Structure 1
């Protein structure tokens, strides 16, 4: 029988490693599964200048520190590509493509989202050496230099405008006819009005060339097929992102773009399954926000486990009838009810649930008003009283 963990984290980028550190530090038995080298996207970049408080570490060094920090507190890291997740029930099962099964009470999905690639010659070779997928990350390296932006949607034009704060010239490579872009009109107008931005229409990148660093792109006119050398110091590619969610598309709810939907605690549509980092629907995708997501999901997972274990042990697996009193310290009536119950001669076990701290249990049993009292036999609700009177309390016990 396979070992049962408290938390399994799928993905070893900044979000997953941060979650591992926080979960392990909370004394949760934690396993992190990664398909290859731990570190995520930052592992492929040269510099990291926008992580608060870190002034002299490269991107690979920073995520290596993340890894060491997680392992220092006890996170177990194994190689494995997850094929499917069975998240029904309290104990969940993660199965890898190699057929290995792991079990855990909570799962954190941190598989990230890859920038959509052009898949042209030279792109992989010059990644981090002039080829970039993040203006916010790398614009500083192109001060007073000339760069190209590939793409014409909102992200591409927003990033092109941002790059004009640093670069001397920004040329946008657009696949459409002159004057036609996918970006919203307001972004188009801003781009046209910016003296630093120029456009090359009806074109795609055929290949990227350089000597150690990018020094030109070879552009292809999609109408004529002509190839043209275009000299530049950097190429920023913004043609969309692809979240790594194929293996959970039948498990959790996704957006139309394939990102995982979450609530305020970063829990997915499946109880006990959380999502952190670029794989989830979010506004800003950066290492610092991924790390924050990791901390949030680990803390929320710990709360989920504690709440579920308490409920199972004290209610569902109880050998006697159970009275569950839903109360809140801000509601006098509910406090009066719990006080009365505590002073009664009960022939059942009394369990008190603070609705603020245990919203999950409250929602599960559709407790919308307090005080509410449930009576359970063999784990099943047999009676439910909302704002019960003293007579009703005496009758139910």
Structure 2
């Protein structure tokens, strides 16, 4: 898997898979990143998609992956930790610690931010509760913070927070990350509490602590909830991609181009309706356009 890819696709849902199929068919070298069960479709059943009466989301995704593989798409079942411009390319760091480079990027990670669903979470949002380490880490210099989550976004976020906070505590039922990222947690001094969950976020006008399911409490100034892969806020913060006026979805034109040349977006990350039919259509366009852009770079 060495060398430079033409198209790197972040997200393993229907939009990303359709993009992979179309860009691979245009003879582009395509890498798809992400875990299939991160897609919200994986746990759903589909009844309103043209020509399908009823089918499980898992079956849709597995079939789509087989199609993309048959056309030459390469897959890595890893989440992305960071992504940044690198000259005319994009440099993408994976949870294993590996770095891959691509001429173009398609963002197809979906839009939802999983909630912890505990008392105090909603009330203290923006007052110490955050869903974006890359956006808000700088507000917690020399403070003690907590991170909730078991996967790469939580672990990677906890590592990043050590550059700002005096102490970082990661709470999770069971850590599920690559060994390279697990080692980073240890090396950077993150306090990992496996088998311990946050059951309440404490504070009146700002976060003052967390109550844990073992009955103890911990004084913290911030709580970062990272229950999945990197979401729209983190990815756009890294790349400088323009969001809509509500800072919730990526703005993309009819060719699925974002405000950053070489970066495309498809699916729920571009806004409602949050439907598979829309994601597939946008993925088709994004895949064709990204492959065309990458091939044009070769000529130039």
Task: Indicate the TM-score class for this superposition, using the shorter chain for normalisation.
Answer: 0.5 to 0.7
Count of residue pairs the alignment pairs up:
189
- The DSSP-based 3-state class of the residue aligned with 1:114 is coil
Report the counterpart of residue 66 of structure 1 in structure 2: 64
1:97 Cα deviation after fit: 3.4
1:273 and 2:263 equivalent? yes
Is 2:72 the partner of 1:83?
A: no
Over residues 70-113 of structure 1, what are the superposed CA-to-partner deviations in whole Å (9 max), with x where a residue is unaligned?
11211111022212222253322111233211011111111111
* In structure 2, distance between residues paired with 1:50 and 1:28: 32
Aligned pair partner of 1:260 in 246, 250, 254: 250
Asked if the contact 1:243/1:258 (under 8 Å) is kept, the reply is no
How is 1:328-339 mapped onto 2 (pairs within 5 angstroms)?
none
DSSP-derived class of the 1:254 partner? coil
Q: Give the aligned partner of residue 43 of structure 1.
A: 42
Aligned mates of 1:245, 1:11 — CA distance in 2? 14
Bigger RCO (CA 8 Å, 6+ sep) = 2
Q: What corresponds to 2:293 in structure 1?
A: 304
**Cα distance 1:33–1:42, how it changes in 2: closer, same or farther (>3 A)?**
same
SS of the counterpart of 1:108? strand
Taking the aligned partners of 1:39 and 1:13, their CA distance within structure 2 comes to 8
Instruction: Please state whether the residue corresponding to 1:16 is helix, strand or coil.
Output: helix
Cα offsets for 1:123-163 (capped at 9, x unmatched): xxxxxxxxxxxxxxxxxxxxxxxxxxxxxxxxxxxxxxxxx
Kept after mapping to 2: 8 A contact 1:265/1:297: yes
User: Residues 83 and 247 of structure 1 are in contact (CA less than 8 Å); yes or no, is this contact kept in structure 2?
Assistant: no
Residues 26 and 39 (structure 1 numbering): CA distance in 2 closer, same or farther, change over 3 Å?
A: farther
Question: Aligned to 2:238, which of 231, 247, 250?
Answer: 250
Q: Aligned in 2, Cα 1:249/1:113: closer, same or farther, shift over 3 Å? A: same
Contact 1:13 1:63 (8 Å CA) reproduced: yes
Cα RMSD of the aligned pairs, angstroms, is 2.5
Q: Point out the more displaced range, 85-94 or 49-58.
A: 85-94
Instruction: State the Cα deviation string for residues 3-29 of structure 1 (Å, max 9, x = none).
Output: 211111011011111111111111111
The question of whether the paired residues in 1 share the 8 Å contact of 2:13 and 2:36 is answered with: no
8 A contact 2:258–2:264 mirrored in 1: yes
Deviations 1:43-68 (CA, angstroms, capped at 9, x unpaired): 111x2101100124222212221111
Change beyond 3 A, Cα 1:120–1:68:
farther
SS at match of 1:305: helix
Shift in CA distance, 115/249, structure 1 to aligned 2, threshold 3 Å: closer
TM-score by length of 2: 0.57
Point out 4+ residue stretches in structure 1 off by more than 3 angstroms. Answer: 115-118, 242-245
- Residue 22 in 1 paired to residue 22 in 2? yes
Counterpart CA distance in 1 for 2:31 and 2:259 is: 22
What SS does structure 2 have at the residue aligned with 1:21?
helix
Are residues 250 and 56 of structure 1, via their aligned partners in 2, closer, same or farther at CA, if it must alter by over 3 Å? closer
CA deviation string 1:233-270 (max 9, x = no partner): xxxxxxxxx95331331312223323222222111111
- Is 1:283 aligned with 2:272? yes
User: Over residues 283-321 of structure 1, what are the superposed CA-to-partner deviations in whole Å (9 max), with x where a residue is unaligned?
Assistant: 3110111111111101111221232222x2xxxxxxxxx
**SS of alignment partner, residue 248 of structure 1:** helix
Residue 85 of structure 1: SS of its match in structure 2?
strand
* Counterpart contact for 2:232–2:250, Cα < 8 Å: no
Q: Distance in 2 between matches of 1:278 and 1:88?
A: 27
SS at 2:46 equivalent: coil
CA separation in 2, counterparts of 1:279 and 1:30?
20
Give the stretch that moved more between structures: 246-255 or 263-272: 246-255
Report SS of the residue matched to 2:55: coil
Distance 1:115 1:54, change over 3 A: farther
Aligned to 1:162: none
Structure 2 CA distance, aligned partners of 1:7 and 1:64?
21
1:2 is displaced (CA, Å) by: 3.8
Question: How big is the shift at 1:120?
Answer: 6.0
